[in-house]
Each structure stands twice: as C-alpha cells, then as structure tokens.
Amino acid sequence: MSIFRGEKISVEIFGESHSKKIGVNCTGFPKLKIDLEYLNKIMERRKPSKNAYSTSRKEPDEVNFTFGVNNGYIVDDYFSAEIENKNQRSGDYNNLYGKPRPSHADFTSFTKTGNLNFSGGGKFSGRMTAPLCIAGGIAKQYLEEKNIKIYSYVSQVGKVKGTSYLQSEITEEQILSKGENFALSNQVEMEEEIANAKINGDSVGAILECIVYNMPTGVGDGIFDGLESKIANLVYSIPAVKGIEFGSGFNLASMLGSQANDSLYYENGVVKTKTNNSGGINGGISNGMPITLRVAFRPTPSILKEQNTVDLVNKENTTIVIGGRHDSCVGIRAVPVLECAVALAILDETLK
C-alpha cells in the first residue's frame, strides 16, 4: 500500500498491476456530489486508446465506490473505490523470470523483496495511476467548483516541440481549443514521432506542462511545507517522471536577476506580476498568478528490441525481448494523471 498523508487529506492506493483489483481509500475530502461523468472522462483519458501511441490492452476502469458514497454523494469522512483488473495476463511475462527489464523497477524491487517474478510492474506499474486518478479526479472536480482550473498538455514528444508556456503566455481559452488533442500544436508531428518509434519497436519520451488558473494567493508555506515541495512529491509518484521545474525552471540558471524577477503591479486593484518566471510560487506560497510547471517523462522502458540485462538466477549476463503491448510514449496517457496529482497537492493545501 502506498500512502499519501497530507495535512488534511490522506490517499491510500492498494493493489498491483496484476492483482484482482486495485483501488484507493481517501479521508478528509470535502463532502461533494461526485460528478461521475466528469470522473469517467478523466479515467477514459488515462486509458489506452486505439491510437498508434498507446497500448492496445483493454482496461475498462469502471470505478466502483465500495464505501462512503451514496447516490453519488460522499457521505462519510472516508470513502473507498475499486477498479477490477479484468485483464491480468501475467503470462505475457513468463520469459522474464529472474531477468529484470532495463530501467524498470524489476531489479530494484528484487533488491527489496527478493521477488524474481517480474510481471507487469507490481505496485510500480503505470496501472496504479488509475486509482490515483480516482482520488485526484475528485480533487480536481472540487477545485474546479471553486474556479481553480488545472490543465495539462504535451509540449514535447521526442524531438518534436509544441507550444510551451516558456515561449508565450497561454490562456485557458487556448488550452480548451485543443479539444481532444493532447498538444496545443504539432499534434500530428508528435503522433508521427511516436509512430516512428513504435514501428522500430522503440519508445520515446515527452515533456508535459501543467497550468493552474485562478489559483488563490497565500496557499502553501515555507521550507519543508512549500507548494513546490508538495507538488513535486506527488508528481514524482507518477511512474516515468524524471524531472520537474516550476515557472522558467532550468532556464532561470542562465538569466540575470533583472530578467528573472517578476515585477509586481496593480491591475484593477489586484496585485499581479508582469512576467511569471516564478511559476506562481514565491517562498513556497502561491502569489495568485497561474501556477506553471513542466514535467519530463522518460521513454517507456518496455521496448520490443532485444536488450542486454542480467539473469539473477544464474548470475550471468543475458538478453531479453519484452513481449506484450505497451505504450510507445507513456507521457501521452499521463496528461490527466499529472492534472490529478497536482490537484491532490493543491486540494490538501487549500483545505488547510
């Protein structure tokens, strides 16, 4: 079980990639009416689709509230939800016994548990982001009802770059206009990049951006309790994430203070900043500007090409070929997951 114990909410994720069911227990959530259509849409976005860039496995991901929800309403300070794992084909992984897949959690989980049966990623599987999305989706709905809007999109796939907030200010309208696309621009080129990798039995990485609009001021706190700390903590819980930056992030390293500082000014009686290099956060606390962050997703480690690895049973070098069906760009399906992880962080801080 993986537990996020926030200041006000707790989120407990149970199950593994191939257990009969996976799910989430939540405490401290506001007693709202869950918009099931809204939640299912998030679950749907996380699901593999028929596109070139996603796995063809079926994961219906029907959310079953087993406690604390009545007629759609959260009626208890605790609720629990499950998803059945209908497609537990661990047979796909038989040839991997004792042979850890490179850059997966196979070898590292073995060093903790001694388990040599590497099937589907266990609790490290991307599958576990489904229960994360149940909790995070409800958090996101609540925030949206408070007018705090969280959007994510893909700004880079492999070598193909799309629109990024680093180049220009992005409005909510602009994001909404993307419709079902995952990117604000260059969606076709990105899909080609993924298709090319797939054809070669390979995979490709991505950068996702996330913007939180209408963020109230004064959320978060200093040092160990900063908003960046909490968001980073939750975002790094998404498998395949290898980097997170806020505002202008790593670009700030090559800037002068006079360029990087966000000048304050009054607009209709409200304090705003002219630029937003700080990504809406100063000293760990929100300043009222949109919170902006960028997240690096590594390429899916499961590729069809032959790879060098070790045989932990016979203690010798070997090679493996990973079968099964896998996303060629795990970052795509992570778009709603990132929104949900950020929503959980902001919900917990907002309720304080």
Shortest approach of its own copies to residue 227 CB, angstroms? 9
Contacts to its own copies from residues 142-181, by CB under 8 A = 156-159
Instruction: Report if residue 95 touches its own copies, rule: CB under 8 A.
Output: no
Choose which of 53, 118, 142, 297 interacts with its own copies (CB under 8 A). Answer: 297
**How many angstroms separate the CA atoms of 130 and 169, rounded?**
31
Instruction: Report if residue 105 touches its own copies, rule: CB under 8 A.
Output: yes
Residue 239 contacts residue 297 (beta carbons within 8 Å): no
Shortest approach of its own copies to residue 16 CB, angstroms? 8
Per-residue binding string, its own copies, 328-347, x by CB under 8 A, is ---x----------------
Instruction: Report if residue 305 touches its own copies, rule: CB under 8 A.
Output: yes
Our CB check for its own copies shows the closer of 50 and 159 to be: 159
**How many angstroms separate the CA atoms of 172 and 345, rounded?**
21
Shortest approach of its own copies to residue 107 CB, angstroms? 6
- Token pair 């919900």 is found at 347
- Using CA atoms, how far residue 63 sits from 7, 99, 126, 237, in Å, is 26, 34, 17, 21
Instruction: Report if residue 61 touches its own copies, rule: CB under 8 A.
Output: no
Choose which of 71, 168, 258, 268 interacts with its own copies (CB under 8 A). Answer: 258
Shortest approach of its own copies to residue 38 CB, angstroms? 24
Q: Which stretch binds its own copies (CB under 8 A): 138-146, 164-172, 183-191, 304-312?
A: 304-312
Inter-helix orientation angle 330-350/227-235, to 10°: 140
Choose which of 25, 54, 85, 119 interacts with its own copies (CB under 8 A). Answer: 25
Our CB check for its own copies shows the closer of 122 and 290 to be: 122
- Please return the burial class of 59, using the count of CB atoms within 10 Å of its CB with bins 0-12, 13-18 and 19+: middle
Q: Which residues pair with 156 in a beta bridge?
A: 161, 207
Q: Tokens representing 64?
A: 């079953």
Contacts to its own copies from residues 31-60, by CB under 8 A = none
Choose which of 49, 52, 90, 107 interacts with its own copies (CB under 8 A). Answer: 107
Q: Which stretch binds its own copies (CB under 8 A): 140-148, 166-174, 179-187, 275-283?
A: 275-283
Q: Which stretch binds its own copies (CB under 8 A): 33-41, 84-92, 174-182, 288-296?
A: 288-296
**How many angstroms separate the CA atoms of 204 and 195, rounded?**
10
Secondary element (H or E) of residue 175: helix 172-176
Long-range contacts of 319-322 (CB under 8 A, 24+ apart): 320/95, 320/96, 320/99, 320/101, 321/95, 322/96, 322/101
Shortest approach of its own copies to residue 192 CB, angstroms? 14
Shortest approach of its own copies to residue 223 CB, angstroms? 4
**How many angstroms separate the CA atoms of 120 and 158, rounded?**
25
Q: Tokens representing 192?
A: 């080609």
Contacts to its own copies from residues 72-91, by CB under 8 A = 76-78, 80
